[in-house]
Amino acid sequence: MQIVNLKLLNFRNYDSLNLTFSLNNNLIYGNNGTGKTNLVEAIYVLALTKSFRGSLDNVLIMDGKNLTRISGTIKDNVIHDYQIIVSNDGKIVKIDKKTKAKLSEYISKINVIMFSPDDLRFIKDSPKLRREKVNLDISQLDNEYLKILSLYNKILKQRNAYLKTMYLNSNNSSEYLKILTDKLINYGIILTGKRKSFFTKLNVVIKDVYKNITGIDDVSIKYLSNYEDYDYEKLNEIYKNCYKKDLINGKTTFGIHHDDYIFILKDKPFKDFASEGQQKNAIIAYKLAEIVIFKEIKNTCPILILDDLFSELDSEKITNILNLLNNDNIQTFITTTEIDLVSQDIKNKSKIFYCDNGKIKEEVQ
Ligand SMILES: Nc1ncnc2c1ncn2[C@@H]1O[C@H](COP(=O)(O)OP(=O)(O)OP(=O)(O)O)[C@@H](O)[C@H]1O
Ligand SMILES: [Mg+2]
């Protein structure tokens, strides 16, 4: 899958932009604060409808304007036009000019895998952030995951709200709570299965990729599942045992919304002992492993974005990564302030764009 063309209107520091990309490597270079990350962010938002920066949607709109529009032509087996319009009133998404009523009808169509320096937080930060990332990753692979996750979250909200009313009014029916708990368990079991299968597949690949980048073996990701291998009866019993705690807390204290994922190197959790560089390599290995899984499951290669890669890794690792990618027919976007760090070989294979404060010029080689 490749993005052939991108048009922006009032997106961050771009008032208007119209670019045609290489279907292989694209290099975007320029000084700090000129709009490199903004450009790749636009591609990411076009695919996933929100930014990896995790900020509110309206910061995407150029200061002083009312709306922003991102339009892109995506080539897979066939060509489709995608568009997203963000205004203070919300978001509109369109495929081939037709508005989609639900974001879930749009999200898993364009597949993007992105590495940004911010991704280190995946290892260091809270489980909440990891859950959000993994949810997005699996959603891109499996549209049903996204639908069931939305249902799970809806029921979770209802259950939490009902627990609060039960605490205040002991006459409330526990029958209704049982209905909500049943639904929660059933959706939770499906999501647990999908998470397990994702990490089983990922772990088969990530070891090799990490080894190809660093020469070291033995990396994996451990899925810390709350449902483990429990069946409905066992889970029902756990929820019953949690009832008093849930009531006092006014929320569902047990469930897959507390799952976590940790990187392991030689049986030890990364975050306790791995160096910054090792952590970066592990994150990149995770992303590259995802590409392999995409190819397997969806029979297409996602678009790969590597933001600020050169400031993050030494040149040997970067060469290893680029060599891995060059073996594949994959569209990449690499941003950097240091074009001189890019080898002539890679430059020859790339379309090069110079970024200068909201303007982008394609360099003729
Ligand atoms: N909503 C907005 N409206 C106008 N300008 C914006 C908006 N949001 C961000 N900017 C501007 O975009 C610029 C930052 O762009 P970006 O993050 O893409 O830089 P960069 O080229 O990736 O820099 P670095 O090399 O430091 O990562 C800043 O000058 C910022 O003020
Ligand atoms: Mg940047």
Q: Where are the domains of the chain?
A: 1-111+300-365, 122-298
CA–CA separation, 93 vs 15, rounded Å? 20
Q: What is the predicted pLDDT for the residue at 181?
A: 98
344 lines ligand 1 (CB under 6 A): no
Query: Would you say 176 and 162 are in contact if contact means Cβ atoms under 8 Å apart?
Result: yes
pLDDT computed for residue 244 by the predictor: 94
Ligand 2 center from residue 361 Cα (angstroms): 17
For residues 308 and 333, is the Cβ–Cβ distance under 8 A?
A: no
- Kindly report the backbone phi and psi dihedral angles of residue 274, in degrees, each rounded to the nearest multiple of 5, phi listed first: -75, 145
68 lines ligand 1 (CB under 6 A): no
**H/E element holding 6?**
strand 2-11
Of all protein residues, the one whose alpha carbon is nearest to atom 17 of ligand 1 is: 37
Give the residue, by CA position, lying nearest to ligand 1 atom 26: 32
Predicted confidence at residue 84, as pLDDT, reads 98
Dist. CA 218–CA 282, nearest whole Å: 11
CATH topology agreement for domains 1-111+300-365 and 122-298: no
Give me the residues near ligand 2 (ion), CB cutoff below 5 Å.
Answer: 37
How many other C-beta atoms are found inside a 10 Å radius of the C-beta of residue 323?
13
The pLDDT, as a whole number, for residue 159 is 97
3 state SS for 37-50: HHHHHHHHHHHHCC
Ligand 2 centroid–CA 54 distance in Å is: 15
29: left (phi over 0), alpha (psi -120 to 50) or beta: beta
The pair phi, psi for residue 338, each rounded to 5°, is -115, 80
Query: Minimal CA–CA distance to 104: which of 68, 136, 58?
Result: 136
Counting atoms of ligand 1 from 1, which one is nearest the CA of 337? 25
Other CB atoms within 10 Å distance of the CB of residue 194: 18
Q: Where are the beta strands (DSSP E) in 12-100?
A: 14-20, 25-29, 67-75, 79-87, 90-95, 98-100
**CATH number, span 1-111+300-365:** 3.40.50.300
Rg of the chain, C-alpha, whole Å: 22
Is residue 178 within 8 A of residue 249, CB to CB? The reply is no
Ligand 1 pocket check for 229: Cβ under 6 Å: no
| Whole-prediction pTM | 0.87
Q: How do 350-356 and 25-29 pair as beta strands?
A: parallel
Q: Which amino acid is at 71?
A: S
Strand order in the sheet with 2-11: 14-20, 2-11, 67-75, 79-87, 90-95, 98-100
What pLDDT digit, counting tens, does each position of 242-257 carry? Answer: 999 999 999 999 999 9
Superfamily of domain 122-298: RecF/RecN/SMC, N-terminal domain (1.20.1050.90)
Beta bridge partners of 29: 336, 354
Nearest to 191 by CA among 131, 264, 101, 112: 131
Ligand 1 contact, 337 CB (< 6 A): yes
pLDDT digits (tens, 9 = 90+) for 59-94: 999 999 999 999 999 999 899 999 999 999 999 999
Ligand 1 centroid – CA 35 distance (Å): 5
> How many A from CA of 14 to the centre of ligand 1?
9
**Rounded distance, CA 207 to CA 2, Å?**
27
Distance CA 233, CA 252 (A): 18
Residues of the chain with pLDDT under 70: 312, 326-328
